[in-house]
Amino acid sequence: MRFIAFVGRRLALALPTVLILSVLIFLLQRMLPGDPALALAGGENVDAQMLSELRHKYGLDLPVYVQYLHWIGGALHGYLGVSMRDDIGVTQLLVGKLAITLQLALASMTLALLIGIPLGIVAATHRGRLADLLATAVALTGISIPHFWLGILLVLAFCVHLNWFPASGYVPFSENPVRCVMGFVLPSIVLGTGIAGVLMRHMRSAMLDALRADYVRTARAKGLTELRVVLRHALRNALMPVVTLGAIEFGQLLAGAVLTEQVFSIPGFGKLMVDSVLNRDYQVVQGLVLVSSVMFVLASLAADILYFLINPRLRS
């Protein structure tokens, strides 16, 4: 019951947050300069009657608040409008892109966790020694290197010269599983190493605080091995700030890694966002940002749930 009440309170906070975000998304989109109907028609020298028909077709001639109510009402039923550029449903368009971005995000986050958390533990348990210095150097390198530059270097090294991986593009898993996995290796390295560096720094700091706590000294006084003290007592408490950071980073990955998807020509959320903004496709941009915001809120909710499961003080 405590768990259900806890999740219910978090959902009660998430719903108004999403509503406020939807208003901001809609209004900020309308504040962008230019006329989407004019961009859709293809230039300045366009018949006024054609522009009027385009505005009427996509509801651009309605008052702004009426447009918002139509949009948010449809969004509550899973309908996000029709793409002005491709003339297909935005929901249908986003579902396909979300699957691609979700695969990239999961692969990148898995790599980041496998690198960042162990390095943070090693650095904290070997503070001031060579292992700590090497782990810190690896973390700072991952944080400092720009994603687009690292992506270009990896393409040149492993795609152009060695020909180990495909340079760009996306192949669905159902068509060619091996080619699909190979296509995600380099983009996952680009995104995962940066997040791993951030996770490592926070993991090291949290572990150092945990190792100085009274309950760790008590566990050592009981004669427990150092490995058991670190993994069973210190790690569980040190993970809590890392969980929050991981949820934020995962939410950002789901929102779309624009530069990485552009470098590797991955047709995910990031690439679709760039194309839609350039084409002034209102409905697609609004749908993209709304879905990304909802996923970010859900990632934060997942972090709160993990907090509840990890920290016994919240359950009491």
Tell me how many degrees the CA angle 136-109-239 measures, rounded to the nearest 5. Answer: 60
Helix (H) or strand (E) holding 2: helix 2-30
Please report, rounded to a whole number, the percentage of residues in the chain having pLDDT higher than 70. 90
The β-bridge partners of 82 are 89
**Would you say residue 315 has pLDDT above 70?**
no
Q: Point out the least confidently predicted range of 141-155, 172-186, 252-266.
A: 252-266
**Would you say residue 1 has pLDDT above 70?**
no
Q: What are phi and psi of 47, to 5 degrees?
A: -60, 135
Cα-based distances in Å from 70 to 65, 81, 88, 91 = 9, 9, 18, 15
3-52 pLDDT per residue, tens: 677 777 877 887 888 888 888 888 877 776 666 666 666 656 666 676 67
Cα-based distances in Å from 203 to 113, 125, 161, 298 = 10, 11, 36, 23
Give which of 64, 35, 66, 67 is closest to 52, Cα–Cα: 35
Q: Tokens 């991955």 sit at which residue?
A: 266
**Would you say residue 56 has pLDDT above 80?**
no
**193 with 115: CB under 8 angstroms?**
yes
The β-bridge partners of 89 are 82
How far apart CA 297 and CA 287 sit, in angstroms, is 15
92-124 pLDDT per residue, tens: 888 878 888 888 888 888 888 898 888 888 888
How far apart CA 220 and CA 209 sit, in angstroms, is 16
Alpha helices in 156-212 (DSSP H): 177-211
Burial of 143 (0-12, 13-18, 19+ CB in 10 A): middle
Q: How many CA atoms lie within 13 A of 160 on its CB side?
A: 8
| Structure-token pair, residue 19 | 């509503």
Domain edges within the chain = 99-278
| Assigned fold of 99-278 | MetI-like fold (1.10.3720)
Output the pLDDT for position 289: 82
